[in-house]
A and B are shown apart, each in its own frame.
Chain A
Amino acid sequence: MKGCAVVFAVTAVASLCTLGTTVHAQVDTVKSDTASYGRTPWEYRPYNRFEKAYKEFFLDVLEYHGYGRHIPEPEHVETVKIGFVGPIIGSVSESLGGPEDIVLRVNQRQIRWDGYQASHLAPLGIKMLQGARLAVEQANARGGYRGRIPYQLVIRNDNGNWRSSGREVITLAYQDSVWAILGTVDGANSHIAIRAALKAEIVVMNTADTDPTFVETAIPWVFRNITDDRQMCYLLADFAFKKLRLQRVAALRAVNRYGRMSIDEFRDAATRLGNPFMVELEYQEGDTDFRPQLERIKSLDVDGVITYGNSRESALLLKQMRDMGMNQWFLGSDRMVTQEFRDIVGASHGNVAAGFPYDPTSTDPRYLRFAKEFRAKYGEDPETYAAHAYDGINMLIEAIERAGLNRALIRDELAAMKEYLGVTGPQEFDPVFSDRSPAVLAILRDGRFEFYSREEALSDKMDFGSPRTP
């Protein structure tokens, strides 16, 4: 890809920032298995060894057959509104319901930390909002909608009690009169949001939810511009079972929806390759002590441990694993590719690999320019949620510019974008409008994440050591 063994930190190269902003462009099509949904390799297809499915879904482009295209444009608008739904106010857990639940679930014998009295997703949502805001500001600097009307981001928080994302989408659609919506992060809230959007007939662009099932609902109003856990799990499974030749993998994951749904394709891949999990254990969101589960896993003589959960729990889990003398490969999700994870695990992290949706060390001029502008505005480096939101808003704006102020026509323009070249790299959209660009593998080496393409990670030239040697 993208350079072998490049370091995580992005270096600003101001002199390369002379190209235009994100454009809809022709990109090189990556070879894909177009005959299968989600670029699923034959060996990972459900029931592949036993039966051909009666019906395979999601192979045909989703269409909208409603009346919306006939709705005339409004005669006068002061701003062209785009909705934003995301966890931007720290309040409660999306997955479990309320702050009091979280407090009860924290193991009391550990030193309590108060991170989950605020929403654990708010830091991600705020990054998403930063990227979205930057894209809107830049669009307005270029003159706004068709050079004459400014864009306006209408911002709604989604992490209130009782699944508020649906209500927020309804408010955005019927009261705020936005033309399209970007959001959200949490898998459950994202599902809720798109169900509401389906009835209200308004586009939702998702830039942060990697749940594979998010787009497997046949809703023609839903778009996702981030590589999902299906792609990341396939890569991680190939790496674990083909490259490292692991055979005895145990799972210890969050009991929430993210942990339950996102690990799914890895579990299935392991089973279909003949290496079903030795055990699959769970922990509660906010847990700080994983030793009871790790003791059981240790007794099973595993050669790898996989987790799906938030950065903090993943890091604590790994740290305790190493403290217990467990030197197996530690595999996980993109949510643990963070500074927080690295800070907690410290230098004795051992072998660690995670799927990741894009290459944050890209030297593509578009990305470098975006990173420079992001730093100039916010004083910090962009990360995945900001970068994908930035691309998502730019896609929405491009569609609005072409379609005009009609929700159905905006949908049509987005549906027509089979490819998109954004700051996160080339994106390729499948028949259900989900980005199927290849995932990358993040390997933690000497305290830094290095990013590898599939080809690099699986290459015979790469030596990642034996399964249990850090």
Chain B
Amino acid sequence: MRRAFLIIVTCSFPMLDGWCQSDPPTPATGEPYVYTKWESFTTESTHGGLINDHIFYLEADGDSLWIGTEGGLVLYADGTWESWTEEDGLPWNVVMGIAKDPKTGDLWLALFGEGIARFSGGHFQHFTQMNSGLLNDVSYGIDVQGDYVWVASTAGISRYNQVTGEWAVFNEKHAPMEEVWTYNVSAHEDKVYFAVWGGGILEWDVATETWTDYVDPDREMEIDLYRDDGLIHVITTSASYVDNVLWAATYFGLSRYDGRDWRGYMDHDSGLPSNFINFALGRSGTSCYSATDKGLGVLADFTTDTWVTYARDSEDAATWTAHVIVEGQEVKTVPTDLDLPNHFVLSVVILGDDVWIGTGHGLARGIGKGYYEGLR
């Protein structure tokens, strides 16, 4: 169906700041911002500065970027690279999650199979299930809320009080968890959200210290009975909360919840390039960035169901292409200069107006010159 509405934009790369100027706007709805100028980084292109190409997580830190890779921790700041591996005291090279504590400045790391670590003053402090309250050493996500460090592990949720040193654990005995396999955590001032593999989304209310669980109402793994009846599926991978809106990523699509209504998105009914979402980041209550196995899917405007997806159109494509999709119909394609060799996107973060994506082979920054929200 999308191809029937295809309009090829033929403008050249130098003109690609923001939206392509030669293309007529869509009067009825306006146009979303499209990232057309990108910088790409691989181990090869950075001469080893980026120590590993397999990027699991990105964490913004002011104007700098922390990068969790399969081969160590990396800091990109002011155009320079700094990295830490096991040789530098990092307890384990596979860094699956990163959280910066705004209060202390410490960096907290989720280590894939080796617990967590606190990076403070140039030193790493290692916490494992043998020396702390961690439920399991397979840590998938970590975040900081107030004095607490929350850890999403394969055997449940652990919480560390940085002031008292006290640990609390939450699994099927202490929380409404049908399964305990926790995949990600996203902490905010008033809420903490967990993506629980097989258990949907768990919400921790900071004020009342109570749990609310969100699961697929049809309670069946092999179907989604109704599109907008609730969470699409209980196999969740991440949660993002912004403007009082919850964005939930699953391997079966994306869900949005505004506290009253749910909205589901799949690859056949929206601009989502794939239902297999590794990570999702809400930029606002009306915009969400989904890191999928087939590229980056950006819901640019919730109200008009306008998407911009970024992907390689073929295996041998030199660069990625942006597809503008409205209500499931492609209305425009825009070339970009993003040249990463693979569009298996694992992570995404916003830094100012720029968007950064981490893939299975390389890192890229979309330069957001003239960025605007929604449509224009």
Tell me the A residues contacting B by CB distance below 8 Å. 37-38, 40, 46-47, 51, 53-58, 64-68, 70, 162-163, 166-167, 170-171, 174, 191-192, 195-196, 199-201, 212-213, 216-219
A218-B235 contact given A46-B218, A213-B198, CB 8 Å threshold: yes
Nearest chain-B residue to A432 (Cβ)? B222
Looking at the assembled complex, report how far the CB atom of A44 sits from the nearest CB atom of chain B, in whole angstroms. Answer: 11
Say whether B251 contacts A166, CB under 8 Å. Answer: no
Residues of A within 8 A of B56 (CB): 199
> A-facing mask of B97-138, CB < 8 A → 1, else 0?
000000000000000110000000000000001000001111
Nearest chain-A residue to B183 (Cβ)? A195
Say whether A195 contacts B197, CB under 8 Å. Answer: yes
Say whether A171 contacts B113, CB under 8 Å. Answer: yes
Say whether A56 contacts B223, CB under 8 Å. Answer: yes
> A-facing mask of B341-364, CB < 8 A → 1, else 0?
111100000000000000111000
Would you call B307 an interface residue if the criterion is a C-beta within 8 Å of the partner chain's C-beta atoms? no
Say whether A216 contacts B222, CB under 8 Å. Answer: yes
A192-B222 contact given A67-B344, A167-B113, CB 8 Å threshold: no
- The 9 closest A-B CB pairs, nearest first, are A170-B113, A53-B223, A67-B361, A166-B138, A216-B221, A218-B251, A66-B344, A67-B342, A67-B360
Looking at the assembled complex, report how far the CB atom of B180 sits from the nearest CB atom of chain A, in whole angstroms. Answer: 8
Say whether B94 contacts A174, CB under 8 Å. Answer: yes
In the bound complex, CA of A344 to CA of B296 (Å): 58
In the bound complex, CA of A47 to CA of B227 (Å): 15
A191-B343 contact given A46-B225, A67-B361, CB 8 Å threshold: no
Residues of A within 8 A of B53 (CB): 67
Provide 27 A-B residue pairs closer than 8 Å at the C-beta atoms, listed in order of the A residue: A38-B222, A47-B225, A53-B223, A53-B225, A55-B223, A55-B224, A55-B268, A57-B233, A57-B252, A65-B342, A67-B54, A67-B342, A70-B361, A162-B136, A163-B136, A167-B138, A170-B94, A170-B138, A174-B93, A191-B179, A191-B181, A196-B113, A199-B56, A199-B140, A216-B235, A218-B251, A218-B276
Say whether B222 contacts A57, CB under 8 Å. Answer: yes
Looking at the assembled complex, report how far the CB atom of B50 sits from the nearest CB atom of chain A, in whole angstroms. Answer: 14
Say whether A47 contacts B113, CB under 8 Å. Answer: no
Residues of A within 8 A of B361 (CB): 66-67, 70
Say whether B223 contacts A57, CB under 8 Å. Answer: yes
Would you call B290 an interface residue if the criterion is a C-beta within 8 Å of the partner chain's C-beta atoms? no
- Our pick among B54, B197, B225 for the contact of A51 (Cβ within 8 Å) is B225
Looking at the assembled complex, report how far the CB atom of A170 sits from the nearest CB atom of chain B, in whole angstroms. Answer: 4
Residues of B within 8 A of A53 (CB): 218, 223-225
Residues of B within 8 A of A57 (CB): 221-224, 233, 252
Interface residues of B in 321-344 (CB under 8 A from A): 341-344
Residues of B within 8 A of A51 (CB): 225-226
A170-B222 contact given A57-B252, A67-B360, A192-B181, CB 8 Å threshold: no
Would you call B74 an interface residue if the criterion is a C-beta within 8 Å of the partner chain's C-beta atoms? no
Say whether B341 contacts A163, CB under 8 Å. Answer: no
In the bound complex, CA of A54 to CA of B268 (Å): 11
Say whether A58 contacts B113, CB under 8 Å. Answer: no
Interface residues of B in 122-172 (CB under 8 A from A): 129, 135-138, 140, 154-155
Say whether B222 contacts A54, CB under 8 Å. Answer: no
In the bound complex, CA of A37 to CA of B218 (Å): 16
Say whether B154 contacts A195, CB under 8 Å. Answer: yes
Say whether B154 contacts A65, CB under 8 Å. Answer: no
Interface residues of B in 34-80 (CB under 8 A from A): 53-54, 56
Say whether A191 contacts B223, CB under 8 Å. Answer: no
> A-facing mask of B187-205, CB < 8 A → 1, else 0?
0000000000110000000
In the bound complex, CA of A70 to CA of B362 (Å): 13
In the bound complex, CA of A199 to CA of B111 (Å): 12
Looking at the assembled complex, report how far the CB atom of A33 sits from the nearest CB atom of chain B, in whole angstroms. Answer: 13
Say whether A162 contacts B252, CB under 8 Å. Answer: no
Say whether A163 contacts B222, CB under 8 Å. Answer: no
Residues of A within 8 A of B136 (CB): 162-163, 166-167
In the bound complex, CA of A40 to CA of B220 (Å): 13
Residues of A within 8 A of B137 (CB): 167
In the bound complex, CA of A218 to CA of B234 (Å): 12
In the bound complex, CA of A47 to CA of B224 (Å): 11
Say whether B223 contacts A162, CB under 8 Å. Answer: no
- Our pick among A46, A64, A166, A195 for the contact of B222 (Cβ within 8 Å) is A46
In the bound complex, CA of A219 to CA of B224 (Å): 18
A54-B226 contact given A170-B94, A192-B138, A218-B276, CB 8 Å threshold: yes
